[in-house]
Amino acid sequence: MQVSDALLAELDSLHPRQLAAVLHDGNVVLRAGPGSGKTRTLVARIAYVLQTQISSFRGVACITYTNPAAEEIRRRVHRSGVRAEGRITCSTVHAFCLNEILRAFGHLTGQPAPEAGQVLSKAAIEALLQRCFDQVGIGEVLAQHRVPQSTKIRRALACNEDLDSFDPREVQAALLYEEQLLLRGVIDFEAMVILAVHLVREHAHVRDLLRARFPHLVVDEYQDLGGVLHELVLALRDLAGITVFAVGDTDQSVYGFTGADAKYLTELADRPDFRDLELEVNYRSGQDIITVAEAALGLPRGRLAREGAPPGDVKIEQVEGGLQDHARVTCDLVEQAQSKGISPERIAILYPARGRLLDDVRRELTRRELDFRHEGDDKLPAGSLSRFVQRCAARAVTNYQIHAASNADRADMLRRAQAPSLASLARTLTTLRTEARLAPPPSRLFLPRALQQCLDPEELYPADAPALAWLEQLRAGLALDEVAEGHPDQDNTSSLDGLAGLCRSKGFVLQDLARGEEVVGKVLLATYHAAKGREFDTVVLPGLLQGLIPHDVPAGGNRWRKPTEAELEEQRRTFYVALTRAESTVNMIVGPGYETKNGYWMSFGPSEFVIEMVRRLPEEET
We find the least distance from the C-beta atom of residue 125 to ligand ATP, in angstroms, to be 29
When asked if residue 166 is in the footprint of ligand ATP (CB under 6 A), the reply is no
Using the minimum distance from each CB to ligand ATP, give the nearer residue, 100 or 221. 221
Is 547 annotated to bind a ligand? Reply is no
We find the least distance from the C-beta atom of residue 351 to ligand ATP, in angstroms, to be 19
Among 17, 38, 76, 154, binds ligand ATP (CB under 6 A): 38
From residue 529 to residue 548, what is the string marking binding to ligand ATP with x (rule CB under 6 A)? ----x-x-------------
Alpha helix positions (H), 55-142: 67-79, 93-95, 103-105, 122-135
Among 22, 37, 133, 277, binds ligand ATP (CB under 6 A): 37
Using the minimum distance from each CB to ligand ATP, give the nearer residue, 250 or 494. 250
Is 34 annotated to bind a ligand? Reply is yes
Contact 541, 327 (CB under 8 A): no
We find the least distance from the C-beta atom of residue 30 to ligand ATP, in angstroms, to be 9
Give strand ranges (E) for 255-368: 274-279, 281-282, 304-305, 313-318, 347-351
What backbone phi and psi angles, to 5 degrees, belong to 343?
A: -70, 145
Using the minimum distance from each CB to ligand ATP, give the nearer residue, 166 or 283. 283
Task: Restricting to residues 272-311, name those near ligand ATP by CB under 6 A.
Answer: 283-284
Angle of helix 143-158 versus helix 189-202 axis, rounded to 10: 10
**What whole-number distance in Å separates Cα of residue 444 and Cα of residue 86?**
12
We find the least distance from the C-beta atom of residue 266 to ligand ATP, in angstroms, to be 17
Using the minimum distance from each CB to ligand ATP, give the nearer residue, 18 or 492. 18
Among 17, 31, 40, 387, binds ligand ATP (CB under 6 A): 40
Among 32, 254, 484, 588, binds ligand ATP (CB under 6 A): 32
We find the least distance from the C-beta atom of residue 358 to ligand ATP, in angstroms, to be 24
Query: Which residues make Cβ contacts (< 8 Å) with residue 285, sequence separation at least 6?
Result: 34, 35, 293, 305, 309, 312, 580, 582, 583, 584
Contact 294, 621 (CB under 8 A): no
What backbone phi and psi angles, to 5 degrees, belong to 278?
A: -125, 150
Upstream peptide bond of 550 is cis (omega within 30 degrees of 0):
yes
When asked if residue 75 is in the footprint of ligand ATP (CB under 6 A), the reply is no
Instruction: Report the largest interatomic distance among the alpha carbons of the chain, rounded to a whole angstrom.
Output: 68
We find the least distance from the C-beta atom of residue 43 to ligand ATP, in angstroms, to be 8
**What whole-number distance in Å separates Cα of residue 522 and Cα of residue 370?**
8
We find the least distance from the C-beta atom of residue 440 to ligand ATP, in angstroms, to be 35
Segment lying near ligand ATP (by CB under 6 A), choices 9-17, 205-213, 325-333, 438-446: 9-17
Using the minimum distance from each CB to ligand ATP, give the nearer residue, 14 or 553. 14
- The count of residues interacting with ligand ATP (CB under 6 A) is 19
Is 114 annotated to bind a ligand? Reply is no
Residue burial 262-292, b: 16+ Cβ < 10 Å; e: rest = bebbbebbeeeebbebebebbbbbbbbbbbb
Contact 46, 62 (CB under 8 A): yes
Is 152 annotated to bind a ligand? Reply is no
We find the least distance from the C-beta atom of residue 268 to ligand ATP, in angstroms, to be 17
Is 110 annotated to bind a ligand? Reply is no
Is 33 annotated to bind a ligand? Reply is yes
Report the relative pairing of strands 347-351 and 536-541 from DSSP bridges.
Answer: parallel
When asked if residue 345 is in the footprint of ligand ATP (CB under 6 A), the reply is no
We find the least distance from the C-beta atom of residue 23 to ligand ATP, in angstroms, to be 14
We find the least distance from the C-beta atom of residue 93 to ligand ATP, in angstroms, to be 18
Q: Which of 292, 171, 338 is nearest to 579 (CA)?
A: 292
Rounded to 5°, the CA angle 248-249-255 comes to: 90
When asked if residue 13 is in the footprint of ligand ATP (CB under 6 A), the reply is yes
Contact 344, 338 (CB under 8 A): yes
Q: Which of 161, 155, 153, 154 is nearest to 226 (CA)?
A: 155
Comparing every residue's Cβ against ligand ATP, the nearest one is 37
Q: Which of 306, 297, 303, 286 is nearest to 251 (CA)?
A: 297
Among 7, 27, 39, 177, binds ligand ATP (CB under 6 A): 39
We find the least distance from the C-beta atom of residue 252 to ligand ATP, in angstroms, to be 6
Contact 181, 127 (CB under 8 A): no
Q: Which of 278, 279, 272 is nearest to 26 (CA)?
A: 272
Using the minimum distance from each CB to ligand ATP, give the nearer residue, 257 or 283. 283
From residue 213 to residue 252, what is the string marking binding to ligand ATP with x (rule CB under 6 A)? ------------------------------------x--x
**What whole-number distance in Å separates Cα of residue 271 and Cα of residue 266?**
9
When asked if residue 9 is in the footprint of ligand ATP (CB under 6 A), the reply is no
Give strand ranges (E) for 353-496: 372-374
Is 38 annotated to bind a ligand? Reply is yes
Q: Name the site residues for ligand ATP (rule: CB under 6 A).
A: 13-15, 18, 32, 34-40, 249, 252, 283-284, 533, 535, 580
Per the annotation, binding residues for ATP are 32-39
